[in-house]
Amino acid sequence: ELHHFWGTRWQWRGWWHEGVEDDSVGESDIISTVEFNHTGELLATGDKGGRVVIFQREQESKNQPHRRGEYNVYSTFQSHEPEFDYLKSLEIEEKINKIRWLPQQNAAYFLLSTNDKTVKLWKVSERDKRPEGYNLKDEDGRLRDPSMITMLRVPVLRPMDLMVEATPRRVFANAHTYHINSISVNSDYETYMSADDLRINLWNFEITNQSFNIVDIKPANMEELTEVITAAEFHPHHCNTFVYSSSKGTIRLCDMRASALCDRHSKFFEEPEDPSNRSFFSEIISSISDVKFSHSGRYIMTRDYLTVKVWDLNMENRPIETYQVHDYLRSKLCSLYENDCIFDKFECVWNGSDSVIMTGSYNNFFRMFDRNTKRDVTLEASRENSKPRAILKPRKVCVGGKRRKDEISVDSLDFSKKILHTAWHPSENIIAVAATNNLYIFQDKVN
């Protein structure tokens, strides 16, 4: 039965939301990115209001082994503020487009967050002690009257309630003319890249006033522009290799050892279009909204409007696997174009062993595909279904013919409820699903 999906029953774990009811969602509360850290103990979300919220998993309790650690809010901070570009008379939104964690090197945690223009490196650290007994200042920081200082004191550290502080350590600004769509930390952990519509820059974490332009597809004459960069990512193990995807449905693999400016790709992945499927919308729906290397580094996964594709790095002329996410929308493209939904940018993720793929759809549905058994499932992130410990019921969309009792027809799907951002714990079956202003965390059922 589908309930035992790969021996996995997704169980509701909790949700967290800002604002009141779904209907009165404040625009700024809409979650715009979700990312686990490298061990899955921390989970960060960014929202349209420029805020970052970090969740931490509780320690497992010995008394309640069936209760696996829940995620609780650990730290909340304002990462980006709205700005105004006076030269171009343009507003720069505070919306967080991407968050990427750095591997932990000391007691503090570091993450990169970006809006359209500026990348910031944040340090998140704990404080549970406070210095007291300064000589020149009193406990509130006011200068003491020098005539009252008659002896030298040795300041001491006193315990206090745990405080989590986020401090901006670096601000990488003024390097992007267009909108940043991706950031990716290199496996050398010294550099990262940021990609906008036409260019990709390489940064050193220590240097904020200079970056290297590694890809530039801006034509001399902007009227000749036919393609933009939609996403980019470093290879997980080879620090010289990265990929970027385009609005034409192509993926380029570049090797930084070949030349400083990677204008010539070393591999070019593209699937020839099926002429029988050609339509006015072909080019729009083939635009790639996300590209992700598998953890092994052997495959790349891309998401376009209707499908997820898996490519073998050794085969450029077609994907080795294609999964239909919501093929029933093929007949609805005209209305999806009119309401702009056709331009939605869905992301996709691998599970820790690269055996399962997850991506979002409409009506708060999200999909999982098992690459080995070729089974797939549609699940729904909704509050009605989210009773504590309730098992998610697979959902089914009815295409033509008679609608069965538990099916939903294509025409009653709610296109304003979309799952664009999801994350999969790096080593366990725990997933985070962002649905508008709600974050759902599901895990497989523990026996």
Residues that bind ligand NAG (CB under 6 A): 6, 8, 37-39, 41-42, 56, 103-104, 209-210, 274, 277, 327, 330, 351-353, 355-356, 427-429
The smaller minimum CB distance to ligand NAG, of residues 274 and 340, is found at: 274
d(CA 312, CA 123): 37
To ligand NAG, the closest distance from the beta carbon of 252 in angstroms equals: 20
Residue that the structure tokens 């450029």 belong to:
316
The smaller minimum CB distance to ligand NAG, of residues 14 and 352, is found at: 352
Sequence-separated (6 or more) residues with CB below 8 Å from residue 180: 97, 98, 114, 115, 116, 117, 119, 194, 195, 196
The smaller minimum CB distance to ligand NAG, of residues 125 and 386, is found at: 125
DSSP string covering 241-292: EEEEEETTS-EEEEETTT-SS--S-SEEE-PPP-GGG--TTHHHHHS--EEE
The smaller minimum CB distance to ligand NAG, of residues 193 and 357, is found at: 357
On whether the CB atoms of residues 253 and 267 are closer than 8 A, the answer is yes
To ligand NAG, the closest distance from the beta carbon of 8 in angstroms equals: 5
To ligand NAG, the closest distance from the beta carbon of 390 in angstroms equals: 19
On whether the CB atoms of residues 240 and 256 are closer than 8 A, the answer is yes
To ligand NAG, the closest distance from the beta carbon of 209 in angstroms equals: 4
To ligand NAG, the closest distance from the beta carbon of 5 in angstroms equals: 7
On whether the CB atoms of residues 51 and 65 are closer than 8 A, the answer is no
To ligand NAG, the closest distance from the beta carbon of 200 in angstroms equals: 19
User: Looking at beta carbons, which residue is closest to ligand NAG?
Assistant: 352
E strand intervals along 256-395: 267-269, 290-293, 299-303, 307-312, 321-324, 348-350, 356-360, 365-370, 376-380
The smaller minimum CB distance to ligand NAG, of residues 20 and 446, is found at: 446
To ligand NAG, the closest distance from the beta carbon of 326 in angstroms equals: 12
H/E stretch holding 422 reads: strand 421-424
The smaller minimum CB distance to ligand NAG, of residues 153 and 278, is found at: 278
The smaller minimum CB distance to ligand NAG, of residues 190 and 406, is found at: 190
DSSP bridge partners of 267:
253
Residue that the structure tokens 């974490």 belong to:
205
